[in-house]
């Protein structure tokens, strides 16, 4: 097994308590940071480590922190995005339920780096247990003066609040998340201005994913070089892959960046369920295009997956075997995006609804010739035309299934039945 960073103690009983966490070397990075480093130095270390955002976009975390204006008279905020809602992704949940202090320590260091004195953890509404764990962990950290006024005598203050979401996928999008914290409908904001300049309550804001921040204490403790030595040159460190679908051993696997898809599925995942044939893989959560078996040797890092025609995204790997109907996949995922579209901008609101209706028809054996072309055309005018990435995210499911499996759509339309199962799957 390769070296684990985030999951090293994940199975140890009591790791969620501050006692065990500290026994296992927790809260050593924080005093070091507060004593030895200036905020800029922390940012530089993280920059050097090459740590990239684990939320999906893969933006270098240190660079993001350095965008926060230092001379702004306004307060600065740190937001911790724990609204993990991308279908196929379940890594943050485990991190914050089993090892909340790792996240909190990382968050404190990040807040120190950008000199924020207030932080918010925006946790997905459905994560009731996670919220409880975090609340407890926060108060434990406060008791030990890792949070609060004058942390460890350094003169640095930080309060972290927990905010539970109301159950909208869109609130994982950073600007919608801010709207939600501010008490409004979760609608995405227009960028620019970017959050680092005008974010929460109009103030400079840094927003990072749970996994990203959880890496930070380890980078401080073991050095940027150590971190950069793992993974590939551009995608450093390890990554937690959420493996799901028709595999024998689904679950979270922390592996170095750049491991191949084949290794993940066949070595760690134990191969396809009932030893069937692999049909397609969604490599980075439902918003990324599918990969076909010929891409099995793709290395799972940000660059290689893009080269292969998809995205690493949040590394939610969904495996589909030969019994899966791809039209049904497109329909199911589109239903998700249609349901989660916030309704603000026209192409996403109307486009996803339209696509869903067409897919529903095809699934019901009422497809018509021209439907596939129409779907592709709708995709073209959703992607790139919307305010936020939700619209863009709704497109790949439809477009990539058509691209690779158009014969299934045609079969559905021509024969009014499913090619894989021989009968309409839906209803």
Partner 1 sequence: MDNSKVKLTIDDREVEVPKDSTILEAALSVGIDIPYFCWHPNLESVGACRMCLVEVEKMPKLVASCVNPVAEGMVVHTNTEKVIKAREKVLEFVLTNHPLDCPTCDKGGECDLQDLTYDHGPMMTRYREDKVRWIVDTHYRFDDLQLGPLIYRNQNRCITCFRCVRITREIFGYSDLGVFGRGSKTHISAPGGEKFLNEFSGNTVEYCPVGALTARNFRYKIRPWLCEQTPTVCPMCGDGCNMTAWSHQRKGHIRNTSRRNDSIDEGMLCDRGRFGSVFSNHPDRIKSPMIKEGDTFREVQWEEALGFIAEGIKKIKSESGPEALGGIASDLVSNEEAYLFSRLMRQGVGTNNLDFRGDRKSLLGAGALKILFEMQKMSVPLEKVASFDTVFVIGTDIASTHPIYTMWLKRGIRKAGLRVLAANSRKLDFGIYSVQNFTYRPGGELALLLGLLKVIVKEKLYSDAGPFRGGQFSRWANSLQKTNYDTIAASCGLSEERISILARALAESENCLFVVGQDLWEGPLGSSCLLAINDLAVLTENNGNPRGGVNLLFDSGNYLGALNWGLTPDYLPARRHREDKVGREKIESLWNCRLPEAEGFDTIKMLEQIRKGNIKGLYLYQSDLLCDFPDWEYIHDCLSKLDLLIVHELFLTETAKMATVILPATSFVETEGTFTNTEGRIQRFQRGAAPSKGVRESWQTLSRLAQKLGAEFVYENPPEIFREMVTLSSDAAGLDYDKLGARGRIVALAERVFEPALYEVEFDSYTSGDSDYPYPLLTGDLVYHLRHLTNYNEDMMLVAPEAHLEISPEDAKSLELKEDDTVRVESARGALEVKVAISKKSPPGVVFLPRNYSDKNVNKLRDREKTLDYVRIAKA
Binding interface with partner 1 (CB under 8 A): 168, 185, 190, 192, 338-347, 349-354, 357-358, 361, 374, 381, 384-387
CB-wise, 353 or 426, nearer to partner 1? 353
CB-wise, 104 or 178, nearer to partner 1? 178
State how far the Cα of 424 lies from the Cα of 427, in Å rounded to an integer. Answer: 7
**Could you tell me the smallest distance in angstroms from the CB atom of residue 374 to partner 1?**
6
**Could you tell me the smallest distance in angstroms from the CB atom of residue 420 to partner 1?**
25
Please give the helix or strand (H or E) that residue 80 lies within, else none.
strand 77-82
CB-wise, 28 or 364, nearer to partner 1? 364
State how far the Cα of 427 lies from the Cα of 425, in Å rounded to an integer. Answer: 6
Cα-to-chain-centroid distance, residue 149: 32
Alpha-carbon distances, residue 405 vs 63, 167, 309, 392, 411 (angstroms)? 40, 33, 15, 20, 10
Strands 77-82 and 205-209: parallel
CB-wise, 176 or 272, nearer to partner 1? 176
- SS3 label, residue 244: strand
State how far the Cα of 311 lies from the Cα of 55, in Å rounded to an integer. Answer: 12
CB-wise, 137 or 387, nearer to partner 1? 387
CB-wise, 191 or 414, nearer to partner 1? 191
CA 274, 278, 284, 290: dihedral to nearest 10 degrees?
A: -140
**Could you tell me the smallest distance in angstroms from the CB atom of residue 407 to partner 1?**
23
CB-wise, 26 or 195, nearer to partner 1? 195
3-state secondary structure 158-190: EEEEEEECCCCHHHHCHHHHHHHHCCCCCCCCC
**Could you tell me the smallest distance in angstroms from the CB atom of residue 190 to partner 1?**
4
Residue 112 backbone class (left: φ over 0; alpha: ψ -120 to 50; beta: rest): alpha
CB-wise, 262 or 335, nearer to partner 1? 335
Paired residues of 81 in beta bridges? 122, 209
**Could you tell me the smallest distance in angstroms from the CB atom of residue 164 to partner 1?**
18
State how far the Cα of 97 lies from the Cα of 388, in Å rounded to an integer. Answer: 29
CB-wise, 92 or 173, nearer to partner 1? 173
**Could you tell me the smallest distance in angstroms from the CB atom of residue 380 to partner 1?**
8
Please give the helix or strand (H or E) that residue 236 lies within, else none.
none
**Could you tell me the smallest distance in angstroms from the CB atom of residue 392 to partner 1?**
10
CB-wise, 176 or 206, nearer to partner 1? 176
**Could you tell me the smallest distance in angstroms from the CB atom of residue 348 to partner 1?**
8
**Could you tell me the smallest distance in angstroms from the CB atom of residue 370 to partner 1?**
8
Cα-to-chain-centroid distance, residue 267: 24
State how far the Cα of 99 lies from the Cα of 120, in Å rounded to an integer. Answer: 18
User: Closest Cα partner for 103 from 210, 263, 235, 251?
Assistant: 210
**Could you tell me the smallest distance in angstroms from the CB atom of residue 170 to partner 1?**
8
State how far the Cα of 75 lies from the Cα of 205, in Å rounded to an integer. Answer: 9
- DSSP assignment string, 17-49: SHHHHHHTTTTSHHHHHHHH--HHHHHHHHHHH
**Could you tell me the smallest distance in angstroms from the CB atom of residue 240 to partner 1?**
30
CB-wise, 242 or 338, nearer to partner 1? 338
State how far the Cα of 359 lies from the Cα of 292, in Å rounded to an integer. Answer: 21
């Amino acid at each position: 097994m390769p070296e684990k960073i985030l999951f090293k103690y994940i199975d140890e009983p009591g790791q969620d308590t501050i006692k065990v966490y500290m026994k296992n070397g927790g809260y050593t990075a924080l005093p070091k940071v507060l004593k030895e480093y200036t905020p800029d130095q922390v940012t530089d270390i993280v920059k050097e480590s090459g740590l990239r955002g684990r939320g999906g976009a893969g933006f270098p975390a240190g660079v993001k922190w350095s965008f926060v204006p230092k001379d702004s008279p306004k307060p600065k905020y740190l937001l911790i995005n724990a609204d993990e809602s991308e279908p196929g992704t379940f890594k943050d949940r485990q991190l914050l339920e089993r090892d909340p202090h790792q996240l909190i320590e990382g968050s404190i260091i990040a807040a120190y780096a950008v000199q924020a004195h207030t932080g918010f953890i925006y946790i997905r509404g459905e994560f009731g247990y996670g919220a409880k764990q975090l609340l407890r962990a926060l108060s434990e950290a406060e008791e030990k003066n890792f949070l609060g006024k004058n942390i460890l005598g350094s003169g640095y203050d930080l309060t972290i609040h927990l905010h539970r979401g109301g159950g909208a996928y869109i609130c994982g999008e950073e600007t919608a998340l801010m709207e939600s914290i501010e008490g409004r409908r979760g609608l995405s904001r227009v960028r620019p201005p970017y959050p680092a300049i005008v974010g929460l309550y109009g103030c400079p804001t840094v927003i990072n994913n749970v996994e990203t921040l959880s890496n930070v204490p380890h980078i401080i403790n073991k050095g940027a070089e150590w971190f950069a030595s793992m993974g590939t040159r551009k995608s450093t460190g390890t990554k937690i892959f959420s493996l799901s679908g028709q595999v024998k051993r689904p679950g979270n696997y922390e592996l170095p960046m750049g491991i191949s898809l084949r290794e993940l599925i066949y070595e760690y995942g134990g191969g396809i369920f009932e030893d069937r044939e692999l049909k397609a893989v969604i490599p980075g959560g439902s918003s990324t295009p599918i990969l076909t078996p010929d891409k099995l040797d793709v290395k799972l890092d940000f660059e290689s997956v893009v080269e292969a025609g998809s995205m690493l995204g949040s590394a939610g790997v969904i495996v589909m075997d030969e019994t899966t109907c791809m039209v049904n996949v497109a329909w199911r995922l589109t239903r998700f995006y249609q349901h989660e579209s916030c309704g603000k901008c026209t192409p996403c609101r109307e486009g996803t609804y339209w696509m869903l209706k067409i897919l529903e028809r095809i699934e019901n054996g009422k497809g018509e010739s021209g439907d596939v072309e129409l779907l592709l055309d709708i995709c073209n005018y959703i992607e790139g035309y919307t305010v936020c990435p939700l619209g863009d995210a709704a497109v790949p499911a439809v477009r990539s299934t058509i691209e690779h499996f158009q014969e299934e759509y045609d079969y559905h339309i021509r024969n009014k039945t499913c090619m894989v199962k021989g009968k309409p799957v839906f209803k």
